[in-house]
């Protein structure tokens, strides 16, 4: 414990003053247990009687509480934190830091309502006891056998091989382990793509609407970011520029985020031809391609790419849980080494034990068993949401349902942005968390709408949430 003595007066008084200062500064917090008198005396080179005397003095003044057999604890005292004088930094932040602060002023969504019982937030994971038990078992096994040295920056070989086998079965992507880079989720994939492929001033195109996180990353990097509209067939390739083509086009072809469209085969071929003709790269974000209800699995865009222009991004945040922070990039051969070096410079690699545990979970079939169980649960929750919308809000909303993923979009009839915000506030008062679609657009949409996530609530609670939603729409 860091307790500098001031050198004035008896040692007991010096120690008492040092402890008081630590309490008032907030370094010792309410309820915190102090070291035993014997341990503190040994650490500070004092006699035990000196420490006992200081503890007794502080207890008498109300700074400490003694509990027989448990020790001495800090009493409930409001810290008196010193006021720091504001002063300019010694030098201004970098251009990147200034751009990052501006980019992050744009929110990722419509706020969060995690304190509400009926929270329809997109991105809340589907959790269950079986997954927790299976993951704990895999972690224990991996901890026993994983290498404790720095990991390979590309990722654990067993995990990269497991990802290749999985993608071949489920997404039609043929890849070698050398093509795969394990990353800390999709966000790091965006960041590495910016570092390796883009220079400040380069042009990037996103879909409109889109997930704001890549917009933030590329703007912070100094890229010029614009968006191209989507329709029922996905990205409208006819709107892609030909005079000043982008360096990078980011798409979600298997389940457009957030509207849910599936990019048609003609559009996919057109996008690949455009990338070849104009020398640009494609980033395919396959954020939740595992979950499709009543439809055959789709091949990924990369599976059609014969010219190695597509970088494929997958994540385990949606299929398992976001705190895992593991995902992967499947790279064209020409980009393997630049991305490996960028990853090594950034982090030296992802945590080895979690990687090995995930490799085992995929290899022994546990991951795909989890996906099958999760799909059954999600299908029931989606049905509860669509049926509840039809029953309680059918006259007020138009629903876009792509029969995939973990969310859907409900457009509000006769609602502008102000009425939508009032609706969200009214719902919050009933314990219902609603989220606007507007933050996912660069330019305001013509109609107000809601992004409704259904992974985080049981079907019975979704039914209640839809009843509350109907009451809010009717002004109740």
Structural domains present in the chain: 11-74 (1.10.10.10), 103-125+369-473 (3.90.1150.10), 133-365 (3.40.640.10)
Is the separation of the CB atoms in 146 and 353 below 8 Å? Answer: yes
Indicate if the alpha-carbon torsion angle 400, 401, 405, 406 is positive or negative.
Answer: positive
Is the model's pLDDT at 137 over the cut of 80?
A: yes
pLDDT score, position 85: 63
The torsion region of residue 348 among left (phi > 0), alpha (psi -120 to 50) and beta comes to left
pLDDT score, position 307: 96
User: DSSP labels for 177-241?
Assistant: GGGEEEESHHHHHHHHHHHHH--TT-EEEEEES--HHHHHHHHHHT-EEEEEEEETTEE-GGGS-
- Average pLDDT estimate for 286-311: 86
The torsion region of residue 71 among left (phi > 0), alpha (psi -120 to 50) and beta comes to left
pLDDT score, position 114: 74
Angle, alpha carbons 141-142-148 (nearest 5°) = 135
pLDDT score, position 96: 93
- Average pLDDT estimate for 394-416: 89
pLDDT score, position 385: 96
Of 324, 300, 304, 322, nearest in space to 313 by CA: 300
Mean pLDDT is lowest, of 75-84, 187-196, 226-235, 444-453, for 75-84
The DSSP symbol for 300 reads: P
Is the separation of the CB atoms in 62 and 73 below 8 Å? Answer: no
Task: Tell me the percentage of the chain whose pLDDT exceeds 70.
Answer: 96
- Average pLDDT estimate for 151-180: 94
Which pair of structure tokens corresponds to residue 211?
A: 């997930």
């Amino acid at each position: 414990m860091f307790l500098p003595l001031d050198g004035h007066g008896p040692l007991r008084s010096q120690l008492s003053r040092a402890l008081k200062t630590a309490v008032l500064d907030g370094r010792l917090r309410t309820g915190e247990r102090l070291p035993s008198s014997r341990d503190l005396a040994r650490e500070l080179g004092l006699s035990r009687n000196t420490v006992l005397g200081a503890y007794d003095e502080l207890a008498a003044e109300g700074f400490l509480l003694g509990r027989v057999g448990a020790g001495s604890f800090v009493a409930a005292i409001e810290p008196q934190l010193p006021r720091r004088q504001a002063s300019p930094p010694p030098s201004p932040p970098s251009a990147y830091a200034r751009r990052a602060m501006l980019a992050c002023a744009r929110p990722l969504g419509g706020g969060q309502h995690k304190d509400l019982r009926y929270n329809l937030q997109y991105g809340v994971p589907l959790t269950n006891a079986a997954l927790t038990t299976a993951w704990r078992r895999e972690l224990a096994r991996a901890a026993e056998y994983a290498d404790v040295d720095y990991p390979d920056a590309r990722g654990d070989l067993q995990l990269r091989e497991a990802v290749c086998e999985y993608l071949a079965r489920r997404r039609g992507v043929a890849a070698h382990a050398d093509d795969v880079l394990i990353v800390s989720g999709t966000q790091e994939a965006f960041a590495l793509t910016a570092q390796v492929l883009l220079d400040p001033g380069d042009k990037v195109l996103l879909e409109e609407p889109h997930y704001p996180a890549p917009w933030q990353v590329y703007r912070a990097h100094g890229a010029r970011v614009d968006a191209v509209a989507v329709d029922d067939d996905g990205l409208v390739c006819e709107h892609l520029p030909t005079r000043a083509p982008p360096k990078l086009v980011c798409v979600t072809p298997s389940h457009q985020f957030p509207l849910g469209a599936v990019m048609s085969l003609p559009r996919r071929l057109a996008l690949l031809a455009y990338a070849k003709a104009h020398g640009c790269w494609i980033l395919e974000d396959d954020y939740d391609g595992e979950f499709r209800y009543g439809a055959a699995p789709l091949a990924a865009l990369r599976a059609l790419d014969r010219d190695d222009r597509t970088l494929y991004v997958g994540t385990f945040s949606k299929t398992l849980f976001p705190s895992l922070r593991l995902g992967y990039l499947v790279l064209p051969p020409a980009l393997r080494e630049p991305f490996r070096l960028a990853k090594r410079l950034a982090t030296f690699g992802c945590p080895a034990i979690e990687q090995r545990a995930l490799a085992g979970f995929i290899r022994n079939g546990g991951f795909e068993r989890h996906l099958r169980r999760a799909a059954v649960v999600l299908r029931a929750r989606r049905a509860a949401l669509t049926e509840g919308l039809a029953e309680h809000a059918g006259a007020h909303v138009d629903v876009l349902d792509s029969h995939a993923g973990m969310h859907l979009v409900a457009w509000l009839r006769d609602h502008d942005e102000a009425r939508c915000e009032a609706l969200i506030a009214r719902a919050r008062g009933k314990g219902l968390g609603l989220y606007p679609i507007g933050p996912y657009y660069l330019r305001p949409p013509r109609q107000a709408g809601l992004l409704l996530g259904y992974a985080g609530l049981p079907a019975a609670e979704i039914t209640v949430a839809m009843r509350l939603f109907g009451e809010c729409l009717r002004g109740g």
